[in-house]
Amino acid sequence: MMARSLKLDFSKLTGLEIKHKLSKQAQIFEKKENVPKAAVLIPLFRQKSQWNVLFIHRSLWVDKHKDQVSFPGGMTEQGDQDPIETALRETREELGIPSHSIKVLGQLKPLVFRYEYQIYPIVGEILCPIEITPSKMEVSHTFSIPFNWLANPQHYSLKDYETAEGEKRQVFFYREYKNELLWGISAFITVQLVDKLI
């Protein structure tokens, strides 16, 4: 990860500039052929001249990652042409946001999560105003965090973490934001996006 100043201000970036910065990286990624594919959407939107990131707080009814902060997303299904279609479909199912209301700006390098599946992070701008109607079965509630706050290196750090299986690793944790805790793979993807937009 790149070192960065605390004074970084991303509010003046346009959607086109974000798209240009993301396009600078190679779009040919290594594919793990025997690993199931998944995709998430990093939903950006502008409010009061600031970029914000929309997150979901997962319900207690989902099979995995109950009661955790994450991006909308899920496993690739038969019929999905690519990770972008997976991310848009999952966002529509979880938040009720139609695909035509999201402008895809690019994607980040995919990563393998616990050797279980490969995640493709897709970056998209929500074209406001938009009504969000979360799925009650999958989403407890939604909230947003200003991107400038997320980009501040004083607000996140790597910490030692022990999994339920007893495996020890270093994991990104953000400070709590209005009683919401962003950590783990979603925090890593967020930091990865910050690095790409510097």
130, burial (CB in 10 Å: exposed 0-12, middle 13-18, buried 19+):
middle
Range of the domain at 142: 15-150
Is 51 among the domain residues? yes
Tokens standing for 179?
A: 């009683």
Per the structure, the count of domains in the chain is 1
Tell me the average pLDDT across 26-39. 70
DSSP summary character for residue 21: H
Is 189 among the domain residues? no
pLDDT in tens, 112-123: 876 678 999 999
Is 198 among the domain residues? no
Of the listed ranges 4-13, 24-33, 95-104, the one predicted with least confidence: 24-33
Is 191 among the domain residues? no
Contacts of 53 (CB under 8 A, 6+ apart): 42, 43, 44, 144, 145, 147, 150, 190
Is 74 among the domain residues? yes
Tokens standing for 63?
A: 């099979």
Query: Higher-confidence residue: 36 or 31?
Result: 36
CATH number at residue 19: 3.90.79.10
Is 6 among the domain residues? no
pLDDT in tens, 139-161: 999 999 999 999 999 999 999 98
Contacts of 136 (CB under 8 A, 6+ apart): 59
Query: Higher-confidence residue: 8 or 75?
Result: 75
Is 92 among the domain residues? yes
Q: Taking the CB of residue 36, how many other CB atoms lie within 10 A of it? A: 10
Is 142 among the domain residues? yes
**pLDDT of 5 above 50:** yes
pLDDT in tens, 88-100: 999 999 999 999 9
